[in-house]
A = this chain, B = another copy of it.
Amino acid sequence: MQNIQVVIPFKLDGAKSRLAPLLSLEERVGLAQAMLKDVTLTVSSAGPVIILSRSGHNHCLMPHARVIECDLDLSDALNSLIDNWQKKGWPAHLLIVMADLPLITERDVEGMIHTEGDVVIAPGRGGGTNLLLIRNPFFRVSYHELSFLKHLDLAEKRGLLVSVYYSYRCGCDMDEVSDLPEVLLHGHGLAKEWLEEMGFILSAGKGRAGFLRKKER
């Protein structure tokens, strides 16, 4: 197996606030943890996994990963890890995977790894970066607004070869209520089980075809 280091950034404070129209804070935390477990389990076949977490979370149920706590913002925390590896030994492939991708499979991870490029980006809807594979230690990340375009631009400015890995499942990050039907439609793991256990079912709507609602008891 190639030398692949996986990093999954995770924070619970203000967890998934855009899901608030459907889910309580407690529910959002429950779903976020279920998604993190799904993602961790899926990517752990690729190589060692670090969960880059804000301090104070309880990650005792994560046997497949090492937890590193850091209270910097997302890009700074990741760039600090990258700086460190650049100095102390580059892992050859650094794969950064968002924690809210409950649909991804091992096939997606393999698809990323088999895509050429100093940098490989799997975009999320709306211009986000959902998975990012970095092979060149001089690349730095910028996860703020329209990060897909920023990462393309940053790679090009450094003369790096950048590829885009298009994937339906990698594209489905769970940011908004309208994203959640994808978990019941195309999911396979703990996040799907969690939504079902909480009583959520798919309903047909007039707009975007499906939405979630709680079953009447």
Pick the contact of A148: B126, B149, B171, B185 (CB < 8 A).
B185
Interface size on A, residues (CB 8 A): 36
Q: Cβ of B168 and Cβ of A166 under 8 Å apart?
A: yes
Q: Cβ of B126 and Cβ of A186 under 8 Å apart?
A: no
Q: Cβ of B127 and Cβ of A185 under 8 Å apart?
A: yes
- A126 neighbours in B (Cβ, 8 Å): 178, 181-182, 208-211
Smallest CB separation, A45 vs chain B (Å): 19
Q: Mark A19-40, 1 if CB is under 8 A from B, else 0.
A: 0000000000000000000000
| Number of identical monomers bound together in the oligomeric complex | 2
Question: For the complex, is A205 an interface residue (Cβ under 8 Å from B)?
Answer: yes
Q: Which residue of B lies closest to A152 (CB)?
A: B185
- A145 neighbours in B (Cβ, 8 Å): 204-205, 209-210
Q: Mark A166-187, 1 if CB is under 8 A from B, else 0.
A: 1111111001101001100110
Question: For the complex, is A102 an interface residue (Cβ under 8 Å from B)?
Answer: no
Smallest CB separation, A192 vs chain B (Å): 14
Q: Cβ of B147 and Cβ of A209 under 8 Å apart?
A: yes
Known: A123-B185, A127-B181, A127-B204. 5 other contacts (CB 8 A): A125-B125, A126-B209, A126-B211, A127-B210, A168-B171
Q: Nearest 7 A-B pairs (CB), nearest first?
A: A145-B204, A127-B210, A166-B168, A126-B208, A126-B209, A127-B209, A168-B171
